[in-house]
Each structure stands twice: as C-alpha cells, then as structure tokens.
Structure 1
Amino acid sequence: MLPFILASASPARRQLLEQVGLQPQICPSHFDESVVQAATPAEMVRILARCKAEIVASQYSGDALVLGCDSILVLKGQIYGKPESPAQAISRWQQMRGETGQLLTGHALMDTRQNLTLVDVEETDVTFAWLSDRQIKDYVASGEPLNCAGCFALDGQGGLFVEKIVGTPSNVIGLSLPLLRRLLGELGYELGPEGLRLSAPQSPAFPS
C-alpha cells in the first residue's frame, strides 16, 4: 500500500492518524502562510492545506498519499491562527471567553499514483468558558496556547475551558477523521484492521 505522508509537524494530527491505524511519515511543508490571501476563511484553509500538500508531494519521489491540513478559529469575523506572542494569546482569550467560534480545518488529500487531489473543509462550533484574567494568564504561561490555532488545545489543558462542541471533535484537535474517511473512499481506499486497502471508488462529492 502507498505510504501515507502527513505534511505537518503537529503531534495532535499524527496521534489522530495513529489511533485509526495509520502510521504516517511526518514531513512538514514549512510553507509561508503569510503569502496567502483569500476572500473567506474557508477558502483560506482550503488554499493553505493544498499548498502544504503540494509542496511535500513535490519533494517525494515515489507514489504516496499526502495529507495537508490547516486550521483557524473564526470569532466575530476575526480569524485566529497561532498567536505570535504570549501577549497576543492573552488578548485573544479575553475576546474568546464566553463566546462561540467556528473552528475550520482545510484538508487536502493528494494521491500521486492517480494524480488526483481532493480538498474540503470541516467546520465545528466551539463554545468557550468564561475565564478570569488570572486563569487566562496562567493558561498562556503553560505554553500550550502558543502552538495552537485559536490559542487552545482540546486534547490538552485547553479542554477544561471548552463548554460545548457542535460538530466533529477530532476536527477541533487538528483534522476531521470522518472527512478523511470520505476523502479516502473517493480515491478508492478504505481503512481496515490492517490499515489502508483498496476499495471500490466512490462518486466524487468534493471538488478539487
């Protein structure tokens, strides 16, 4: 079966893939996200995910499945990626507390053997608890928010501060496992007890 390559250094994404039986090769794209402009948050994460997957695929000499992902939090029309500093993380949390935002993750799955790429976005609503300024500063001091889109990690200490999720929990962690399953199915693969295997291709539902 084809190697499965994750175009990301995210430990959370790697762990999600491992828990469903995949053993991904880790190959960060080091793509400069600041060069991308888009009309909507959904378009932005689509472009970023695809760019990351394409960069890594171009560096791989053999056939492979390459997954690129990018996540952002949208709150009151503002886009939050990873904070640039502790001060920015504190400021963002002061805006996030008690509010509901949308966590968007773009997924780009490339099959270099078939020369096919599927791209789609999963959106999940996240409602945050009301934190005091002291709680916010203590959480930011832990360092965890500085490495996360939206300044929180659902699978870490940040899970304490999430009141409600409407949608796919794994999407908030870093990638949507249900969406990945559907994308794999469209490319003609399915996940079984022994990992990835070929299956009957499904009718495409997601444009590239």
Structure 2
Amino acid sequence: MGVQLVLASSSPARLATLRGAGARPVPVVPDVDETAALGESIGHLTARLAQQKCRCVIDALNEEHRLDVPSVVLGCDTLLETEGHIYGKPGTPEAAIVRWYRMRGRQGIIHTGHHVVVVRDGTLHEMTRVATTVVTFADLSDAEIARYVATGEPQVVAGGFTIDGFGGPFITRIEGDPHNVVGISLPLVRQMLLDLGVGWFDLLGDHPQKG
C-alpha cells in the first residue's frame, strides 16, 4: 500500500531526517500560534502544538482535495527544558549567547511532541505522543560561544543548538533517541504508524532509495 506522507512543519532538519530514512514527505508549513497557555507543562505544550500543526495543514489540504488518497500527516514540535525553564528558538544573537551561558557544562531535556494522522477514505485516525532525550552540553568558553553564535545557527533552531550542524562538537552525551534532538523521533513515528495500521515501508513505496 502506497501512502502519501505530509510533513506539517517548516523544519529543514525534520525534512532532511525523513528523506535520509528513505521517505519522500511533502512539506506544508502550518500557521499556528505557539504561545504557551498559563501553567501549561512542556509535554502538554509540545503535544498540543504538534496536534494544531497537523489540523491546520489538514484543513488546508482538504480545501485543495489533496487528501483524496491514503495519507499520513505528521506534525512535530520541539522545546528544550533546562533547570526548570522552557526554551524554543533564541531568535536573536544576544538571546543565543545568554542561552549558552546558562547551558554550558549542564544537561538539558529535549521534548518533541509528535502527532500522526492517518487519512483513509475520508476518516481520520490519530495519535499523539511525546519523546524525550537528555543531552549534556560541553563547557564552552565565552569565545567559543561567540564564534558559534556568529554562525547564525543557534538563533533559528529549537533549544539554540544542533547535533547535525555546527553545534555537533558541543554535545558530549545523549541519553535517548538522537533523532529526537533533531526534532523528530523516527522510532517513535514508526511505532505510532504501526499502532494506526501503517507500516514504515508503506511511506517509502515499492522501491525506496537512499537520499
């Protein structure tokens, strides 16, 4: 069974991760308000935003009749928790520098909400789960932080770092799924799909290719 995969995300890293695993996702950028509700936990927030991203994209695709074939819509949202604080993308160089002053030499927890919707014959079957991964940051010098921030990378990624880019040398330990640090846990997505009656290779077609 061939299934269309729609990625409800603007993240190049998530798209590249899925493509690297052989999938051919169709990226659609959702338009959602990512503001946390008062007292909302990080797990609930990432799960809720993943759900909202999927629903936003499903509404848009339904209007264009692009879900008339068997489809999987996947939404994710990633945030960093460290010392009881929740962090998304720093946004500015100044915020990225302050973030790294707080993170260096410490641990953080990456939370990624995953929402999967399987569309069959106009019926939606959906599931939400959250993956967590613990990362340990190297004890960077002020000069290293300044040079890293000057690359422009940490400002635009959740948590203010990557493991698959310039930030890779600054992560000394990972406990859990490393894909989750990039923003999508492939093993979790596979299990969610199985629970919804879709095999991983259904997304890859009859002749999956690398890259």
Going from structure 1 to structure 2, the CA distance change for 1:119 and 1:30 (only over 3 Å counts) comes to same
Structure 2 match to 1:203: none
- Name the SS of the counterpart of 1:70 in structure 2: strand
Going from structure 1 to structure 2, the CA distance change for 1:88 and 1:53 (only over 3 Å counts) comes to same
- Stretches of structure 1 that go unaligned for 5 or more consecutive residues are 198-208
Structure 2 match to 1:143: 152
Kept in 2, the 8 Å contact 1:8–1:26? The answer is yes
If asked which structure has higher relative contact order (CA below 8 Å, sep 6+), I would say: 2
Q: Is the counterpart of residue 68 in structure 1 residue 69 in structure 2?
A: no
Shift of 1:38: 5.1
Identity %: 41
Per-residue CA deviation, residues 144-169 of structure 1 (Å, 9 max, x unaligned), is: 10111110011001011001000000
- Name the SS of the counterpart of 1:130 in structure 2: coil
CA distance in 2, matches of 1:43, 1:194: 28
Structure 1 match to 2:9: 8
Q: Is the counterpart of residue 125 in structure 1 residue 134 in structure 2?
A: yes
Structure 2 match to 1:181: 190
Where has structure 1 moved over 6 Å in runs of 4 or more? Answer: none
Q: Which amino acid aligns with 2:129?
A: D
Kept in 2, the 8 Å contact 1:101–1:126? The answer is yes
Structure 1 match to 2:44: 43
Aligned length: 197
CA distance in 2, matches of 1:55, 1:35: 17
CA distance in 2, matches of 1:141, 1:99: 22
- Stretches of structure 2 that go unaligned for 5 or more consecutive residues are 207-211
For residue 166 of structure 2, the aligned residue among 157, 162, 181 is: 157
Q: Which amino acid aligns with 2:117?
A: M
Shift of 1:187: 1.1
Going from structure 1 to structure 2, the CA distance change for 1:194 and 1:46 (only over 3 Å counts) comes to closer
Structure 2 match to 1:87: 94
Structure 2 match to 1:53: 54
